[in-house]
Chain A
Amino acid sequence: QKEVEQNSGPLSVPEGAIASLNCTYSDRGSQSFFWYRQYSGKSPELIMFIYSNGDKEDGRFTAQLNKASQYVSLLIRDSQPSDSATYLCAVNGGDGSSNTGKLIFGQGTTLQVKP
C-alpha cells in the first residue's frame, strides 16, 4: 500500500516566522511531488511541485526533496495569517515506469499563523 504521511498538526507559528511542513512517502518509484493548499470549505490549490532532489523556490515558498530519505518538505517564509490553511502533500501514484496521473494525498497539515 503506497502511503504519504504528514503530521496533521495544527502547526502554529507567529506572523513573520518560517513555517516548515513535512511529508514522507513509501513508494521509492514516485517521481513527482506536489504541495496543495486548501482553505476550509474550498478546493485544493496547487502551490508547488518538485521532481528533482534539492530545493525549488517560488516567492515565499520553498519545496525540498530528498529521494534517498523519501522526504519532501515545504517552507513558507514570512508567514502571514492568510497562509492559515491545510497543506496537502501529494505524490504521483505511478508504478515507476509510467505515470498514471493518480495522486496519493497525505492527510494534510493544518497551519495556523497567529498575528
Chain B
Amino acid sequence: DTEVTQTPKHLVMGMTNKKSLKCEQHMGHRAMYWYKQKAKKPPELMFVYSYEKLSINESVPSRFSPECPNSSLLNLHLHALQPEDSALYLCASSQEPFGYGYTFGSGTRLTVV
C-alpha cells in the first residue's frame, strides 16, 4: 500500500459547524503532515507529527486542532471556521521527518459558507 487516503474528498461547512478531516497511511511512515493550499498558491505547512507527537505548529489558529491517534492516522478537527479558510487541505506522510520527500494524499477540498 503506497497511498495516503484522505476523507472526505469534498466538505462544505457553515461557520458554526464542527467537522473533522481524516488521513490514513499504511506505509509505516513515522511522520505525518497537514498542509493548506489556496488556489494558484503553493502548499503551506500547518502541522508536523513526528512519531505521533506534534513537532511543528506553524502558528495555526486554534480553530484548527490536529490529532494523531496512532502512527497510521491523522485527524484535523475544524471548528468555527471562516470563509477565508476555504482551501485544499493536504495530508502527507514520510518515512522519517526528513529526507525522501512526502507522499501526499488526494486532499480534502473545503468550502466554508
User: What residues make up the interface of A, taking CB atoms closer than 8 Å to B?
Assistant: 32, 34, 36, 42-46, 49, 51, 88, 90, 92-94, 98-103, 105-108
Q: Which residue of B lies closest to A105 (CB)?
A: B42
In contact, B103 and A46 (Cβ under 8 angstroms): yes
State how many angstroms separate the Cβ of B51 from the closest Cβ of chain A: 11
The answer to whether A46 and B101 touch (CB under 8 A), given A100-B56, A101-B50, A105-B42, is yes
Q: B29-62: contact bitstring with A at CB < 8 Å (1 yes, 0 no)?
A: 0010100000001111100101000011000000
In contact, A101 and B97 (Cβ under 8 angstroms): yes
In contact, A43 and B90 (Cβ under 8 angstroms): yes
In contact, A44 and B55 (Cβ under 8 angstroms): no
Per the CB 8 Å criterion, the residue count for chain B at the interface is 26
User: What are 21 A-B contacts defined by CB distance under 8 Å?
Assistant: A32-B100, A43-B104, A43-B105, A43-B106, A45-B104, A46-B102, A49-B99, A49-B100, A90-B101, A100-B48, A100-B56, A100-B97, A100-B98, A101-B50, A101-B55, A101-B56, A101-B96, A102-B48, A103-B45, A106-B42, A107-B41
State how many angstroms separate the Cβ of A8 from the closest Cβ of chain B: 9
State how many angstroms separate the Cβ of A43 from the closest Cβ of chain B: 4
State how many angstroms separate the Cβ of B74 from the closest Cβ of chain A: 13
Chain A CB within 10 A, most for which of B96, B104, B107: B104
Known pairs A93-B45, A103-B101 / 12 extra A-B pairs, C-beta < 8 Å: A43-B104, A49-B99, A49-B101, A88-B42, A100-B55, A100-B56, A100-B97, A101-B94, A103-B43, A103-B45, A105-B42, A106-B42
Q: In the complex, what residues of A have CB within 8 A of residue B100's CB?
A: 32, 49
The answer for the CA separation of A46 and B48 in the assembled complex, in Å, is 18
The answer to whether A32 and B99 touch (CB under 8 A), given A102-B45, A107-B41, is yes
